[in-house]
Structure 1
Amino acid sequence: MILVQLIYGGSNVLMKLSLQEGLNQIVFVVYRHVLAMVLVGPFAYMLERKQRPSLSFSIAAKIFALASLGTTIHLNMFYAGLAYTSATVGCALSNVIPAFTFLVAVLLRMEKLNIRSTRGQAKVVGTLLCLGGSLIFTFWKGGYLYKGFLEKPLIDGFNAESVGKIQHVKENWIKGSVLILTSYTAWSAWLILQAVISKVYPAPLSLTTMVCFSASLQSSFLALFFARNPSSWKLEWNLELLTIVYFVSVFFHISYL
């Protein structure tokens, strides 16, 4: 798990640099999942032929919803927010995921909360620490909390002089944080739904392949409206191609493990 977090940290840095170089986030999501599907698919076919259950309409609909939450909504919102903030903020705010997941699980009655028990109290304290720590790390100003948005945050994602106006930096910082938090809300819902689907479809590689296929279709549909420039789809030997290859490799290995 520590290795996974290090890999995700590196991916955020690469993605931030690629976005600054002009990489279209929707095009990236399409390429990432098409290549991941091609890579994972053969392994899923060879290793899970016997354990793969039949695919019903109900399961297919859940997989489509899973791709919508964990990929189409989460990734596109996250990369949009990352373009406005920094890789450090993206990683810092990821600490809200356990808290959001716990809250959603309690609301759906998938998790029981007994506030009188030591375990229940620990869950509440842990949730508050996750939320509070993420927000403090992101919005801390100078000597005290929420001093105002006229000064640079603790995590410097912008150069005010190059942007020209500090007000513009402020708006981008807030907008980016909101987008990232929204993406993590979708990710938390994805974790809940994934637990449900894994019980009725216990074939992780096949499930990953179908999620990639659904995500590719959904993001391709979005690209019809937001990525119609043909030059956005052109791949060259540069940082953008390295980022796509890195993400596909990471996606495959994490899925397999």
Structure 2
Amino acid sequence: MSSMKAIAPYLGMIVSQLAYGGANILGKLAIERGLSYPVLIVYRHLIAMTIFGPLSYVLERNQRPPLSLSILMKIFVLTLFGATIHLNVFYLGLDYTPPTAASALSCAIPALTFTLAVLFRMEEVKIKNAKGRAKIIGALVCITGALLFTFWQGPLLLGFVKRPLFIVQGKNFGHGSKHYKDDWIKGSVLIFIANATFSVWFILQAKVYEVYPATLSMNALICFFASLQSATLALIFDRNASSWKLEWNIQLITIIYSGIVISGLSYYLQTSCISKRGPVFAAMFSPLNLVLVALFSAFFFAERLHLSSLIGAFAIISGLYMVLWGKSKDRDGKESDEELQIRFLSSSTECNPK
């Protein structure tokens, strides 16, 4: 039972990144076929809110702390960074870049989150210490692997299918499409900004959880505020009533998937992992999204994998392992310190009975 609890955060983040990989592919398909991304963001959070709302009311009614204006404002700001700004800017950037390249830019998330965590003293780094060196070197190896994966085009090695399962007629889908240089740069900048706000989201989640330790209720409020904030943006930038009309197609599948799996399951898994292991732990799994999306693209869109892809994937996984090893040593050290304190207090009580 204890071993299962120990590996649960790792499994949770892997499942979360697997879900995000699918969302990147579906989001690209849906946007290329005419889905308005502000509409997608509103609908997906409304779906998640209908799930989180009743669950949080039933399961956390005895442990949910009282809501104050201060806590509501903190959750509102948390939502603004992690859901509203991040998603709107990300989907706007995704309209200019292929999903593999968009996922590759997620390599910035661990570095940015790590830097913010150190600045806010949420992460301790000692270069003279083996675990401190492991975290720094691991983060650098992970980022280097993502850059190799993206920008080094080695020889083609293999493809899993001969013909793509999905054919997209959009202006800029896939590595083989012809991008305008300005569009590529614009998309990369937008996705980098989205990733920066996502790093802030990781840090703020840890801070908000300290004052409101109710995972389901907090996520229900996040989805509520995200739907309101994104609806305001949608009414400003997309006043076409036909954009809100839903039919049974890839757009509706994307909305349902994003609402249940991403805004529902993934939000919950991330919040749980951050509350247990901290924001850097959760952020370090982001580059896995790159590997997963590349595999999805190879299967569904017949993209060929390069030698650089395999080398980059190996570096990403190696760097991730190094950082997680350093984090595990931090946790072992804290647990041993707590055990020593308990022993000291118990021995003091025995020596000085009241």
The TM-score with structure 1 as length reference comes to 0.87
How many angstroms apart in 2 are the aligned matches of 1:182 and 1:256?
Answer: 24
* Structure with greater Cα Rg: 2
User: In structure 2, what is the Cα distance between the partners aligned to 1:231 and 1:158?
Assistant: 32
Instruction: Report the 3-state secondary structure (helix = DSSP H, G, I; strand = E; otherwise coil) of the residue aligned with 2:84.
Output: helix
Aligned mate of 1:196, from 207, 211, 218 = 207
Alpha-carbon offset, residue 17 of structure 1: 0.3
3-state DSSP of counterpart to 1:194: helix
> Matches of residues 148-167 of structure 1 in structure 2 within 5 Å?
156-157=174-175, 159-160=177-178
- Contact kept in structure 1, 2:219 and 2:268, CA below 8 Å: no
Shift of 1:142: 6.3
Question: Matched residues in 1 for 2:176 and 2:223: separation?
Answer: 33
Among 136, 140, 146, the alignment partner of 2:152 is 140
Tell me, what secondary structure is at the counterpart of 2:66?
A: coil
What is the CA distance between 1:39 and its match in structure 2? Answer: 1.7
1:236 Cα deviation from its structure 2 partner: 0.9
Match of 1:219 in 2: 230
Instruction: Report the Cα distance in structure 1 between the residues aligned to 2:90 and 2:20, rounded to whole angstroms.
Output: 13
Q: How many angstroms apart in 1 are the aligned matches of 2:68 and 2:26?
A: 38
What residue number does 2:244 align with? 233
2:193 corresponds to: 182
Which amino acid in structure 1 is aligned with residue 94 of structure 2? L
Deviation at 1:156? 4.4
Partners of 2:140 and 2:37 lie apart in 1 by 32
Q: Is the 8 A contact 1:96 1:130 kept in 2?
A: no
On the 8 A contact 1:101/1:188 being kept in 2, the answer is yes
2:113 corresponds to which residue? 101
- Count how many residue pairs are aligned between Structure 1 and Structure 2: 239
Shift of 1:92: 2.3
| 8 Å Cα contact 1:27/1:232 also seen in 2 | yes
Letter of the structure 1 residue corresponding to residue 177 of structure 2: N
TM-score, normalising length from structure 2?
0.64
Letter in 1 for 2:215: P
Instruction: Supply the distance in 2 between the matched residues of 1:34 and 1:62 (Cα, whole angstroms).
Output: 20
CA gap of 1:39–1:254, structure 2 versus 1, over 3 A, is same
Equivalent residue in structure 1 for 2:256, among 231, 240, 245: 245
Distance 2:176 2:251 in 1: 21
Q: Whole-Å Cα distance in 2 between the matches of residues 72 and 122 of structure 1?
A: 34
Report the RMSD for the aligned CA atoms in angstroms: 1.9
* Aligned with residue 120 of structure 1, among 132, 139, 142: 132
Give 1:141 deviation, angstroms.
5.1
State the alpha-carbon separation in 1 of the partners of residues 139 and 192 from structure 2.
15
Amino acid at match of 2:197: A
Aligned to 1:60: 72
Tell me the distance in 1 between the aligned counterparts of 2:268 and 2:197.
23
Map of 1:39 onto structure 2: 51
Which residue in the other structure is 1:8 paired with?
A: 20
Q: Counterpart of 2:95 in 1: which secondary structure?
A: helix
Gapped regions of structure 2 (runs ≥ 5): 1-12, 156-172, 270-354
| Deviation at residue 256 of structure 1 after TM alignment | 4.6
Q: Contact conserved, 2:90 with 2:190, CA < 8 A, in 1?
A: yes
User: Whole-Å Cα distance in 1 between the matches of residues 134 and 204 of structure 2?
Assistant: 24
Is the contact made by 2:46 and 2:259 (CA closer than 8 Å) also made in structure 1?
Answer: no
Percent of pairs with identical residues: 53
Mapped to 1, the partners of 2:106 and 2:134 lie a distance apart of 20
Residues in 2 aligned to 1:18 and 1:156: alpha-carbon distance in whole angstroms = 14
Structure 1 residue ranges (4+ consecutive) displaced by more than 6 angstroms after TM superposition: none
